Amino acid sequence: MRRLFLLLLAIPLAPAAAQQSAPADAPPPSTAPADKKPLTLDAIYGPEGKVDFSGPMLMGLTWLPDGEHYLARRDGALMAVDALTDEAERAWDADALAAALKESGEFDEAAARRFSRSPGDFTPDRAHVLIEHQDRLYGYSFVDGKLTRFTPDATPRREARLSPKGRLVAYVKDSNLFVADAAGRQTQLTRDGSPTLLNGLLDWVYQEEVYGRGSWAAFWWSADEQSIAYLQLDESAVPSFTLLNQLTTRPAVEQYNYPKPGDPNPKVRLGIVRAAGGPTTWVNMTKYGSQETLIVNACWAPDGKLLYQVQDREQRWLDLNEADPQGGKSRTLIAERTPAWVNRLENPTFLTDGSFLWQSERDGFRHLYHYNRDGRLIRRVTGGDWEVRSLHGVDPKTGWVYFSGTRDSSIEEHAYRVRLDGGPIERLTEPGAWHRANFDPQLRYFFDTFSNVSRPSQVVLRYVDGTPIRTISENKPAALEEYAFGAVEFHRVPTRDGFLMNAMLIKPHDFDPQKKYPVWSLVYGGPQNPIVSNRWGGSGNLLHHYVAQHGYLVWVCDPRSASGAGAISSWHAYRRLGVTELQDLEDGVTWLSLLEYVDPQRVGIWGHSYGGFMTAFALTHSTAFKVGIAVASPTDWRLYDTIYTERYMQTPQNNPEGYDASSAVKAAAELSGKLLLIHGLMDDNVHWQNSEQLMYELQKARRPFDLMIYPRNGHGMQFNSRHWIETRLRYLFDNL
């Protein structure tokens, strides 16, 4: 019966077949200057009539080890391009590779040709490559042209990784770690693996929240190829979660382990095993006693020691430890503490003298610190109320440290350099754009890929002092001159206590200051995840202009938690997600209402994921918004995963009041305005139960709302994307 009710709610929002290309049943009129074209959804998304607004995206700009050449795709092939002269040659002998694959008798003509063009993962020196074909692993040497079959049997394997010199390959099979050599000998390094005891393989929550979505490998080769460090995860006590796919005749069940706040986490330990086989040496972590810990990063130091980062379950502290691979004895080099949470940090960057650079947020802003090998602080390298975003390297000859950061603007990223022993910071890139720097291995040149809100990415090759050498891609799509776009303004908006938020306002191209305009706002708001930036936004930004073209102001405002102004600004959200952020968003609406051309009674809001939470939270805790669209929303933080949630909220046992205060479900009876919930039924990240529990409480309180559910879709709404875009627009145009 409930399923029928959901379908009935969804039916009014589903477009008729004849209206699939229309954004709404009766959208507001769109106008454009006589010499400009109006934006359409077909022009933005296609598939028919899609217009190239962003220009060519240069993929594969990867520096080669010599620092003189880089990889670039030209005419469908990867070429080695001379950085200074632009002369190009094939990056490898694809014909020789194809011939070797065919001669093996295990690759047909089509497969050999395909792998010769795009073989697989290379060793750092690009002398060897790993090829995975029909559940077998092969290695090819570009030095001697030999093809090695590492695994003669066709068996599913996961996370195969070549050793640094390409002589061996490590992989996971049946939750155990293996190594294979050029003779096809396979050595099983662990034997206790099971569906719930994972060796060298991450579970769901570790890959999602710690090591990065889609990255499942949990082992690291030593530089000398003699040892492998790996994580062992025991998730036998972690509760499972069930997803149900009902697009089949018989519902298909997908089940996996997913810890929710307060649930048992996977138990983790770090081991070191010889690549030739033998017993595992477990890293000694007895200093932590019985408390639950997370192992959030690991790497091998140049001197052969293993470094790893440990945090407590609620991530209030982080230790950088060093382990002796022979006996597992550990010592702590650096202990990080803050008034709130500590983020997982980058691994150290080692210098030739054994000292290292360390990135820390201990004072509320991520900066660089220089330590000796024993963990004694030599000096702080950068400082101030801004952030280092990435460290590119240190030139041992000149002492220059190259990094990217936000010293000049929190909505732009620039490349900088500073002397290791102190001195002024030099900016290497030009203001007015967001820059992504890619330095060559010898730190002589860098690619400067930059864009702003009105200009897609361009690429310039520069010397390390910022002097331009040549333009790699000027990228001026003609469509940007052919279509109508409104003005984009950046603002600094004060909150009630004086914090200055970053905001972006997009106006209609035919903006009339004498009119009153409704406002459509986008929010994310997740801690330290700003969305206001002076860079090209692709189809999402084009959709903003499409909405503005139909008579709306588009407003994007980052609350302080997501301001990009350091971790210190996000700490206001600690133990009560959404509360301070919503006050900030309300202050943004107050600021807008002072503008003569804004209709403060017609302000809408929408967001996806954390932005969906903020939308649902806003409509249940505020009267500032007339309309809201909440997509894939965490509606009660008790329903999300442990590692993300407990970082900001602690456990429900330690912070029950905070969980209640941050819940849209608990406040469902206070719903104000029109709310559309959108969710994918196969969302393995933010489960459908979030929307379902909010729906249930809204129904109990007799509060009207609307719903669109998407079978088969996960968190990214990867299927039926045009439909859900049109659904959002229709709801906007009909209700705001």
Tens digit of each residue's pLDDT (9 = 90 or more) over 454-489 = 999 999 999 999 999 999 999 999 999 999 999 999
Using the structure block, give the residue that is written with the tokens 């439909």.
Answer: 723
Average pLDDT for 547-575: 96
pLDDT at 16 over 80: no
Average pLDDT for 33-54: 91
Residue 120's pLDDT is 84
Neighbours of 419 (CB within 10 A): 14
Pick 2-14+43-55+487-735's CATH classification: 3.40.1160.10, 3.40.50.720, 3.30.360.10, 3.40.50.1820: 3.40.50.1820
d(CA 564, CA 556): 14
Using the structure block, give the residue that is written with the tokens 């009041």.
Answer: 657
- Which of 609, 622, 633, 691 is labelled catalytic? 609
The model's confidence at residue 29, banded by pLDDT at 50, 70 and 90, is low
Judge whether 683 counts as a catalytic residue: yes
The model's confidence at residue 717, banded by pLDDT at 50, 70 and 90, is confident
- Beta-carbon contacts of 317 under 8 Å, excluding residues fewer than 6 positions away, are 311, 335, 336, 337, 342
Residue 14's pLDDT is 32
d(CA 702, CA 670): 11
d(CA 166, CA 128): 6
Q: Which helix (H) or strand (E) holds 99?
A: helix 94-103
Residue 124's pLDDT is 87
735 contacts 674 by C-beta, under 8 angstroms: yes
Judge whether 715 counts as a catalytic residue: yes
Q: Are strands 445-452 and 455-463 parallel, antiparallel or unpaired?
A: antiparallel
613-639 pLDDT, tens digit per residue, is: 999 999 999 999 999 999 999 999 999
Residue 153's pLDDT is 87
694-713 pLDDT, tens digit per residue, is: 999 999 999 999 999 999 99
pLDDT at 23 over 50: no
- Which of 370, 392, 621, 715 is labelled catalytic? 715
Q: What integer best gives the mean pLDDT of the chain? A: 93
Residue 118's pLDDT is 81
User: Which residue intervals of 223-303 are DSSP H helices?
Assistant: none
Q: Which residue has the higher pLDDT, 180 or 60?
A: 180
Q: Based on the number of CB atoms within 10 Å of its own CB, is 191 exposed (0-12), middle (13-18) or buried (19 or more)?
A: exposed
Strand, helix or coil for residue 209: helix
Q: Which two tokens stand for residue 76?
A: 């469908």
pLDDT at 33 over 90: no
Nearest of 612, 447, 465, 458 to residue 535 by alpha carbon:
458
Q: What is the DSSP string of 533-569?
A: -SS--HHHHHHHHHHHHTT-EEEEE--GGGSSS-HHH
207 contacts 158 by C-beta, under 8 angstroms: no
The model's confidence at residue 316, banded by pLDDT at 50, 70 and 90, is very high
pLDDT at 30 over 80: no
Residue 105's pLDDT is 86
- Which of 608, 683, 687, 691 is labelled catalytic? 683
Dihedral over Cα of 328, 163, 299, 191: its sign = negative
Residue 4's pLDDT is 33
Residue 121's pLDDT is 86
331-344 pLDDT, tens digit per residue, is: 999 999 999 999 99
d(CA 60, CA 499): 41
Residue 27's pLDDT is 52
d(CA 698, CA 664): 10
280-302 pLDDT, tens digit per residue, is: 999 999 999 999 999 999 999 99
Average pLDDT for 237-247: 96
Position 707, amino acid: L
DSSP state of 639: G
Residue 244's pLDDT is 94
Residue 59's pLDDT is 63
Highest-pLDDT range among 2-11, 13-22, 218-227: 218-227
Q: Based on the number of CB atoms within 10 Å of its own CB, is 500 exposed (0-12), middle (13-18) or buried (19 or more)?
A: middle
660-678 pLDDT, tens digit per residue, is: 999 999 999 999 999 999 9
Nearest of 402, 378, 373 to residue 388 by alpha carbon:
402
Position 409, amino acid: S
d(CA 507, CA 150): 59
- Beta-carbon contacts of 607 under 8 Å, excluding residues fewer than 6 positions away, are 522, 523, 524, 525, 613, 614, 615, 629, 630, 631, 633
pTM above 0.75, yes or no: yes
Q: Which residue has the higher pLDDT, 126 or 10?
A: 126
Q: Which two tokens stand for residue 275?
A: 């690549």
DSSP state of 194: B
